[in-house]
């Protein structure tokens, strides 16, 4: 096998993967639409759960979603202190993965290797393929 045969094999696999992702996206859209339709029906009917002959049961439960980010950080801390008297159980310090990755990339560019970083970081490197013009190919 020559390099062009290997590129063709890679392109075939990548195209199949891209098509599968598109299909998965469409199937997920259909699943969400069916789920929303079912939720609306159950709410309209006042149904909280249904047992089926196949042994499964479908029930409604409450899902909670919220926004906690840099933009609303100070407001949230103020609210937590007002609501609970203390925000220490809710505020944590974490290392920025993005900034840490950039630091590691810079150190590697300067000559460091995986063994130069703490074992807990589990730094690993490997070559990857970069294709220019993939979306516009014919």
In-domain check, residue 73: no
pLDDT band for 124, please (50, 70, 90 cuts).
very high
Whole domain around residue 36: which residue ranges? 3-65+96-136
Each residue's pLDDT tens digit, 56-83: 999 999 999 998 888 999 999 999 999 9
Structure pTM?
Answer: 0.69
Each residue's pLDDT tens digit, 77-109: 999 999 999 999 999 888 999 999 999 999 999
- CA gyration radius, the chain: 25
Q: Residue 60 has what pLDDT?
A: 95
In-domain check, residue 108: yes
In-domain check, residue 76: no
Is beta strand 57-59 parallel, antiparallel or unpaired with respect to 49-51?
antiparallel
Q: Residue 137 has what pLDDT?
A: 82
Question: Among 133, 104, 128, 106, which residue's Cα sits nearest to residue 117?
Answer: 104
Each residue's pLDDT tens digit, 1-19: 899 999 999 999 999 999 9
| 26/70 Cα distance (integer angstroms) | 33
In-domain check, residue 80: no
Q: Residue 9 has what pLDDT?
A: 96
In-domain check, residue 59: yes
Cβ pair 62, 44 in contact under 8 A = no
In-domain check, residue 74: no
Domain count, the chain: 1
């Amino acid at each position: 096998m020559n390099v062009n045969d290997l590129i063709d094999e890679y392109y075939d696999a990548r195209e199949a993967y891209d098509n599968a992702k598109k299909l998965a996206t469409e199937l997920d859209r259909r699943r969400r639409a069916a789920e929303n339709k079912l939720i609306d029906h159950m709410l309209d009917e006042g149904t909280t759960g249904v047992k089926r002959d196949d042994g499964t049961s479908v029930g409604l439960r409450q899902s909670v979603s919220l926004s906690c980010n840099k933009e609303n950080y100070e407001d949230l801390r103020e609210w937590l202190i007002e609501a609970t008297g203390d925000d220490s159980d809710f505020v944590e310090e974490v290392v920025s993965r993005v900034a840490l990755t950039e630091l590691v990339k810079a150190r590697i560019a300067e000559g460091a290797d995986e063994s130069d970083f703490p074992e807990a970081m589990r730094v690993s490197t490997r070559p990857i393929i970069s294709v220019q013009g993939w979306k516009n190919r014919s």
